[in-house]
Amino acid sequence: MRLSVLSAALAVTLLATAAPAQSTDPAYASLAQLQQAMREGTLSSHTLVQQSLDRIERIDRHGPTLRAVIETNPDALALATRADDARVQTAKPGLLYGIPVLLKDNVDTGDRMLTTAGSLALADAPAPHDAPLVAKLRAAGAIILGKTNLSEWANYRSTHASSGWSGRGGQTRNPYALDRNPCGSSAGSGAAVAAGLAPVAIGTETDGSIICPSASNGLVGIKPTLGLVSRSGIVPISHNQDTAGPMARSVADAAALLSVIAGSDPGDPATKDADRHATDYTRFLDANALRGKHIGVVRALVGAEPNADRALEQAIAVMKAQGAIIVDPVTLPHLDELGEPEGTVLSYDFKHDINAYLATRTGLKVKTLADLIAFNAAHAEQEMPWFAQELFEQSQARGPLTDKAYLTAQAKAKRLAGPEGIDAALAKHHLDALLAPSSGPAFMTDPVLGDHIVGGGATEPAAVAGYPSITVPASFAHGLPVGIVLFGAKWSEPTLIGIAYGFEQHTHALQAPRFLDTVGGTPQLAH
Catalytic residues: 104, 185, 209
Measured from the Cβ of residue 334, the count of other Cβ atoms closer than 10 Å reads 19
Question: What CA–CA distance (Å, rounded) separates 341 from 399?
Answer: 16
Neighbours of 365 (CB within 10 A): 10
Contacts of 21 (CB under 8 A, 6+ apart): 508, 510, 511, 512
465 phi/psi in degrees, rounded to 5: -70, -25
**What single string gives the DSSP state of each residue in 154-192?**
HH-S-TTPPTTEETTTEE---SSBTTB---STTHHHHHH
Pairing of strands 165-166, 170-171: antiparallel
Q: What is the SS3 string spanning 43-95?
A: CCHHHHHHHHHHHHHHHHCCCCCCCCEEEECCCHHHHHHHHHHHHCCCCCCCC
Neighbours of 100 (CB within 10 A): 29
Q: How far apart are CA 282 and CA 497, in angstroms?
A: 9
The string of DSSP letters for 123-136 reads TTS--SS--HHHHH
Please name which of 482, 501, 495 lies closest in space to residue 433, comparing C-alpha atoms: 495
The span from the CA of 237 to the CA of 350, in Å, is 5
Q: Which residues of 441-466 are buried (b: 16+ CB within 10 A; e: fewer)?
A: bbbebeeeebbebebbbbbbbbbbbb
Say whether the peptide bond before residue 400 is cis (omega within 30 degrees of 0): no
Could you give phi then psi for residue 361, rounded to 5 degrees? -95, 135
d(CA 112, CA 5): 27
**Short-list 464, 415, 450, 454, CA closest to 205:** 464
Using a 10 angstrom Cβ sphere, with 0-12 exposed, 13-18 middle and 19 or more buried, the burial of residue 41 is: exposed
Alpha-carbon span 470 to 228, nearest angstrom: 14
Q: Can you tell me the distance from the alpha carbon of 449 to that of 452, in angstroms, rounded to the nearest whole number?
A: 8
Q: Is the dihedral of CA 119, 210, 141, 78 positive or negative?
A: negative
Is residue 504 within 8 A of residue 220, CB to CB? The reply is yes
